[in-house]
A and B are shown apart, each in its own frame.
Chain A
Amino acid sequence: ILNVEQSPQSLHVQEGDSTNFTCSFPSSNFYALHWYRWETAKSPEALFVMTLNGDEKKKGRISATLNTKEGYSYLYIKGSQPEDSATYLCAFLNDYKLSFGAGTTVTVRA
Chain B
Amino acid sequence: DAGVTQSPTHLIKTRGQHVTLRCSPISGHKSVSWYQQVLGQGPQFIFQYYEKEERGRGNFPDRFSARQFPNYSSELNVNALLLGDSALYLCASSMGQGQNIQYFGAGTRLSVL
Say if the beta carbon of A19 comes within 8 Å of chain B: no
Determine which residue in A42, A44, A49, A100 has the highest number of CB atoms from chain B within 10 A of its CB, and name it: A44
Q: Is the interface of B mostly helix, strand, loop or mixed?
A: loop
- CB distance A96 to B97 under 8 Å? yes
Q: What does the 1/0 interface line of A70-106 toward B look like (CB < 8 Å)?
A: 0000000000000000000101010111111111000
A-B contact count (CB 8 A): 63
- CB distance A102 to B102 under 8 Å? no
- CB distance A101 to B42 under 8 Å? yes
Q: A1-B59, A43-B3, A103-B42 are in contact. Are A98 and B107 (CB under 8 A)?
A: no
- CB distance A96 to B58 under 8 Å? no
Question: Which of chain A's residues has its CB closest to B103's CB?
Answer: A46
**In the bound complex, CA of A109 to CA of B100 (Å):** 34
Among B40, B55, B99, B105, which residue has its beta carbon within 8 angstroms of that of A43?
Answer: B105
Q: A44-B104, A101-B42 are in contact. Are A93 and B90 (CB under 8 A)?
A: no
Determine which residue in B4, B33, B44, B45 has the highest number of CB atoms from chain A within 10 A of its CB, and name it: B45
Q: Give the number of residues in A that approach B within 8 Å (Cβ atoms).
A: 26
Say if the beta carbon of A53 comes within 8 Å of chain B: no
**In the bound complex, CA of A17 to CA of B64 (Å):** 45
* Cβ < 8 Å to B, chain A residues 4-55: 4, 6, 31-32, 34, 36, 42-46, 49, 51
Among A49, A51, A99, which residue has its beta carbon within 8 angstroms of that of B45?
Answer: A99
